[in-house]
C-alpha cells in the first residue's frame, strides 16, 4: 500500500511536470507565425538551392513576423488547399501570390494588397494564337484552383481546361503539345518563359488582379497586426525593396 502511494505521488509529480511543459510549449508556439504557400510560383515563392522556400512572399512574411516579434515558419502545400488550411487554423496566414476574389472573401479575410498580378497567356513561339480572341476552341493549361483556372473555365468551358498541380507542369504540357497555351500570372509566366526555350507571352493581357495575404475570418487580431506591419513596411520602403530584389523594372 505504501508503495502504491509513493508510485501515485511520483505519477502525479511527473504528470504535473508534463502539463507545465505542455503549457510552456504552447507559449513558445504563439511566437511562431505559420505561413501556408505553394512554392512553385517564382518569383513570389519557390524552393531555393538550399531547399528553403524563398521569394517575395516569404520575405514579406518574414519582415511582418519580425515586426510582430514572431518567428516565421513556412508550410508548402497544394495551392487549392490553402484557403481551407488558413480558415481551419492549420496555418495562420497564406501568402501565395493569392488574388483577392469575392468567392475567397466568403471564406477568409484578406489583408491590404501588396502587389498586383496580371493573367497572361503563354504560347509556343510559332503558335497560331496571337490574341485572347484566338483562345476559343483551344486547350488551355492552368494551375488547379487558381484564378486562371476559374476565369478560363467560365469563359471557355470546362472541356477547354487542362488542370495541373503547378505552373511548371502546365508549361511542360505546353512544351509536349498537350495544351495549346497556359494562362497564368505574369511574373511566374516570365520566369517560366525564361527557363524554357521556344515560348513567349502574348502581348494582350487577360485580367489584372490584387494579391493579398489571407487570414482566418475569426482572427481579426492577426489581420489588424498584419495590416499595421504591412503599412509600416510600405512606408519604410522595405516592401518596394523586397519586390525590387526579384522583379526588375523594365
Residues lying near ligand ARG in the complex (CB under 6 A):
37-38, 40-41, 45, 79, 96-99, 117, 143, 146-147, 185
Task: Work out the angle at residue 86's Cα, subtended by the Cα atoms of residues 227 and 59, and round it to the nearest 5 degrees.
Answer: 50
Residue among 207 and 228 whose Cβ is closer to ligand ARG: 207
Residue 214 Cβ, how far from ligand ARG at the closest point, in Å? Answer: 10
Residue among 119 and 127 whose Cβ is closer to ligand ARG: 119
Residue 198 Cβ, how far from ligand ARG at the closest point, in Å? Answer: 23
Residue among 84 and 232 whose Cβ is closer to ligand ARG: 84
Residue 99 Cβ, how far from ligand ARG at the closest point, in Å? Answer: 4
Residue among 172 and 228 whose Cβ is closer to ligand ARG: 172
Residue among 155 and 232 whose Cβ is closer to ligand ARG: 155
Residue 61 Cβ, how far from ligand ARG at the closest point, in Å? Answer: 13
Residue 83 Cβ, how far from ligand ARG at the closest point, in Å? Answer: 10
Residue among 34 and 147 whose Cβ is closer to ligand ARG: 147
Residue among 34 and 37 whose Cβ is closer to ligand ARG: 37
Q: Are 91 and 36 in contact (CB under 8 A)?
A: yes
Cell representation of residue 241: 525593396
Q: Give dist(CA 183, CA 191) in Å, integer.
A: 14
Q: Are 122 and 174 in contact (CB under 8 A)?
A: yes
Residue 174 Cβ, how far from ligand ARG at the closest point, in Å? Answer: 17
Q: Give dist(CA 111, CA 154) in Å, integer.
A: 27
Tell me the residue length of the chain.
Answer: 250
Task: Work out the angle at residue 166's Cα, subtended by the Cα atoms of residues 74 and 161, and round it to the nearest 5 degrees.
Answer: 145
Residue 215 Cβ, how far from ligand ARG at the closest point, in Å? Answer: 15
Q: Which residue matches cell numbers 516579434?
A: 69
Half-sphere exposure of 74 (CA within 13 A, CB side): 20
Q: Are 166 and 79 in contact (CB under 8 A)?
A: yes
Q: Which residue matches cell numbers 507565425?
A: 33
Q: Are 39 and 46 in contact (CB under 8 A)?
A: yes
Instruction: Report the DSSP beta bridge partners of residue 40.
Output: 46
Amino acid at each position: 500500500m505504501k508503495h502504491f502511494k509513493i508510485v501515485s505521488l511520483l505519477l502525479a509529480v511527473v504528470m504535473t511536470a508534463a502539463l507545465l511543459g505542455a503549457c510552456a510549449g504552447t507559449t513558445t508556439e504563439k511566437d511562431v507565425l505559420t505561413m501556408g504557400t505553394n512554392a512553385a510560383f517564382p518569383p513570389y515563392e519557390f524552393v531555393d538551392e538550399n531547399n528553403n522556400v524563398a521569394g517575395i512572399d516569404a520575405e514579406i512574411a518574414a519582415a511582418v513576423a519580425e515586426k510582430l516579434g514572431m518567428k516565421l515558419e513556412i508550410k508548402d502545400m497544394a495551392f487549392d488547399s490553402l484557403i481551407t488550411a488558413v480558415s481551419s487554423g492549420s496555418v495562420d496566414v497564406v501568402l501565395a501570390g493569392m488574388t483577392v476574389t469575392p468567392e475567397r472573401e466568403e471564406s477568409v479575410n484578406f489583408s491590404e494588397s501588396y502587389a498586383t498580378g496580371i493573367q497572361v497567356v503563354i504560347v509556343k513561339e510559332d503558335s497560331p494564337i496571337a490574341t485572347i480572341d484566338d483562345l476559343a476552341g483551344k486547350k488551355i493549361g492552368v494551375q488547379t484552383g487558381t484564378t486562371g483556372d476559374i476565369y478560363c473555365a467560365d469563359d471557355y468551358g470546362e472541356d477547354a481546361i487542362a488542370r495541373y498541380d503547378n505552373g511548371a507542369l502546365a508549361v511542360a504540357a505546353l512544351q509536349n503539345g498537350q495544351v495549346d497555351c497556359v494562362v497564368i500570372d505574369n511574373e511566374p509566366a516570365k520566369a517560366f518563359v525564361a527557363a524554357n526555350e521556344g515560348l513567349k507571352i502574348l502581348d494582350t493581357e487577360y485580367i489584372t488582379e490584387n494579391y493579398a495575404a489571407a487570414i482566418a475570418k475569426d482572427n481579426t487580431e492577426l489581420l489588424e497586426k498584419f495590416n499595421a506591419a504591412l503599412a509600416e513596411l510600405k512606408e519604410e520602403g522595405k516592401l518596394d525593396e523586397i519586390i525590387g530584389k526579384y522583379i526588375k523594372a523594365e
